Structure 1
């Protein structure tokens, strides 16, 4: 599988497209000065305790208060509160927690009012970005993610990704981390650590320790509701999480972002630095790589499949419904079951891509075409699970219900990617009504008369839709010839295929548009 990352910079932000075998599978947008990204740590102030929800609303500077549930406090929240209080009193200098005395874990079934009080300050981490009318979702169980490991303060546990199956490899990685991790810090070993050397893992862990020290230095002076430690840019975050030997190219159309990414890739994988390339083409980078066309074809209510089938995607606040239709795909009656199975497999592959591409979260219900054979239903379920393995978001897939529906729950940490694929009609401006075509020639001639007689312009060119151009030039005594006799000069008529039917413009002898 060939993977490419295409990064388009605009004045308002950066759009990042991930291609697999030239097909768009992920699209991320990051606005300039984007706050409240997943992983950012803020100095929160408790605004309101809600005993009925066992949660608190926290001021982190967003227009709506953020939400912090008791279950997201983390078992060592008392240690975090103690550390924050000591640090802000400037009496604590042990940035690495070597001599820090941890508090006991909180009760899993406890009440938030026993832990937090109104106006209390607490460092919190963004777990979910603001979505729709909701503020950010928070956690006080802090962690700092690197490429190979995740650093977890106030813990001594070393956890290893379940995707690393080899017991020998798990033991090797655990021994490496045990020898280099600082006291009172836990470590989560990520899947990409498999078969990596001591030096790579140690460098990654030291980088995270350095970030923790930066957090500790800023902790005493950061004002309430301000950011203490920010996550890296979205492009670097994606590279941190997915960069591997399968990547063949990373194209960037902005010099500063190009240098930033090249520097970051050099740090984490020097052998892949050569794949980072600066795009210098004349046409927009997304047009050049065919991404813009894929975006227009992949978003929207209806998604067409290559075999003639199509998907209908409907959205609500927390529920998404996807209906699979066979469309104009034909099959003989005796082969109906096999035809349904093939359409469903094609749809399953596209649905897995759509979930990643649109970053759809919450509950997704899929209505596949009915199949009567149990082996086919099982094969389809297994195929869908295999396609969803490429998805980095946490998800659960339930087997088909007795109604033939497949349900997926997918983690949602960012707003869903929503791109408008329809355009307002330039002729009617969305009203559904246009000027009567019978008066079009009158409008053209009225403006022509004004330009030639009032402004005394020479060498005029009339630009119109190809249909109108054909009408004007039609016949021996065409409208163009009549204008010649009437105005005593030849009016050039030029067809512009991008014009709508009733659109027209006049150009002067210098090919400049005449403003009317």
Structure 2
């Protein structure tokens, strides 16, 4: 575990919340939640079965937004699933690309130290707790705490925790489940019954036990929530909670924005001068390891092993950072000696041991290929921030419209801090200007207390934008009309309230 671990929360924008985990000053994980994201993992719905397809052993169920969710019939053992049936389900995988959310009727409610399983009879202990004596102690508590109509699974954070603390967690989760049951009995499907904690709350619940030194938040309201949350969880040795009040946006100040941009690059340079190339396909992710500028200090054998070992460390970090799941094939530099291959495989096992998304490392082929499978916990970073390029039939990719829009919003907030100009005239590429005008402009004007006009510039690159003018409303409007008269292809977008 890193000796210096921080959680940085960017919470000022109403449209988006971002939470970063920094280890020794480097970004290790990034979580992003947007206000229009539907069916987040953990949410519980009262659903209606739309269709049952025995041929693929699945059913499609309506959970309320017009996009049906997918339910494996194997998850509903002991239940007869028929069309128009109402049942309570939980989202296990969020919708991604052209796939709807995946749901299950087997529910679970995570707490700080354990997971309550309504309707289950199981007891379990996290496999990440290595000590057999501690596992035996916690399994004994789990059996004592389990009820007739619910099971209990002990989380990794419970290591060293006493039975009384675990019992309080059960009590709290059981009260929540009774409330969900009550709401389900009174409401018609499809409807939302339970929404998990907000993004920051979920990260704190799942990550704070990992030795976090500092939590830095840029919003006063969230700052209060975090202090309350930490006070409930900790008696002593609490992480230090800081309210960031700088003018420079918090992610920019801590270097997170730069690292997010780097996490979208194909090429990743290692400190030695070697590099990785990361390629995504529909079925798997391929990573190529290259010596690059690294020539080593000894012979070729030691240079190759050193490069591969350094690459293994960075690959584990990149998979976490980019939230890459599924099948990963790594083309390491060929190694002649079996002991070197064993050394590399041992390093891979070691670096993936602390990964919360379970990873399995397979043996190495004679060509130096290693296959890794990693559990898919949430959409990968590239799919969250980018989309297929509209100019080249999706053979490349560009930043998503909402990603560019949020970059513009943070830029405008920085300007609003610096001066009190009545109005702003922004230039952006035509598709982005259209998107901002249709989606955000009125909201931004209300929040930033400025008149905002955004001009679609046909010659601008997709993600390029800049401020054309700051000043009075009259001056900005006059300049916008001049631009429209000068070139017919220029479109000025104004909010409906303007």
Q: Give the TM-score range, shorter chain.
A: 0.7 to 0.9
Question: How far apart are the structure 2 equivalents of 1:360 and 1:395?
Answer: 11
Cα distance change on mapping 1:276 and 1:372 into 2, 3 Å: same
Cα gap change, 1:60/1:245 in structure 2, threshold over 3 Å: closer, same or farther?
A: closer
Shift of 1:297: 2.5
Partner of 1:96: none
**Partner Cα separation in structure 2 for residue 210 and residue 256 of structure 1:** 26
Displacement of 1:245 in angstroms is 6.4
Work out the CA distance in 2 between the residues paired with 1:11 and 1:344: 43
CA-CA distance at 1:273 after TM superposition: 4.8
Q: Which of 247, 271, 280 in structure 2 is aligned with 1:282? A: 247
- Where does residue 55 of structure 1 map in the other structure? 58
Corresponding residue for 2:5?
3
Which residue number in structure 2 is paired with residue 173 of structure 1? 138
Aligned match of 1:416: 380
Partner SS for 2:246: coil
How far apart, CA to CA, are the structure 2 residues paired with 1:152 and 1:172?
A: 20
Change (3 A) 1:289 1:50: same
> Is residue 2:56 matched to residue 1:18?
no
Provide the residue aligned with 1:315 in structure 2.
Answer: 280
State the SS of the aligned residue for 1:118.
coil
Partners of 1:327 and 1:134 in 2: CA distance: 39
Query: Cα distance, 1:29 vs. partner?
Result: 0.2
- Are 1:374 and 2:341 an aligned pair? no
After superposition, where does 1:116-515 map in structure 2 within 5 Å?
116-244=81-209, 246-271=211-236, 273=238, 275-331=240-296, 335-418=299-382, 419=385, 515=479
Kept after mapping to 2: 8 A contact 1:131/1:414: no
CA distances 1:188-246 after superposition (whole Å, capped 9, x unpaired): 11122111012221111111111101111111123312111111112211211221262
Aligned-CA RMSD value: 2.6
TM-score by length of 2: 0.74
- Indicate the SS of the match to 2:128: coil
Unaligned 5+ runs, structure 1: 79-114, 424-502
Paired with 2:106 and 2:129, the residues of 1 have a C-alpha distance of: 24
Q: Does the Cα contact within 8 Å between 2:214 and 2:241 map onto a contact in 1?
A: yes
**Aligned position for 1:37:** 40
In structure 2, runs of 5+ residues without a counterpart are: 390-465, 483-498
Q: TM-score, normalised by structure 1?
A: 0.72
Q: Pick the aligned partner of 2:69 from 62, 66, 71.
A: 66
How far apart, CA to CA, are the structure 2 residues paired with 1:7 and 1:318? 33
Answer 1 or 2: which has greater strand percent.
Answer: 2
> How many pairs does the alignment contain?
395
Higher CA-based Rg: 1
User: Is the 8 Å Cα contact of residues 319 and 362 (structure 1) preserved in structure 2?
Assistant: yes
| Inter-CA distance 63–375: structure 2 relative to 1 (3 Å threshold) | farther
Give yes or no for contact 1:47–1:57 (8 Å, CA) kept in 2: yes
Cα distance between partner residues in 1 of 2:45 and 2:251: 35
3-state SS of paired residue (2:84): coil
**Residues 409-436 of structure 1: CA deviation (Å, up to 9, x unaligned):** 1111321112469x9xxxxxxxxxxxxx
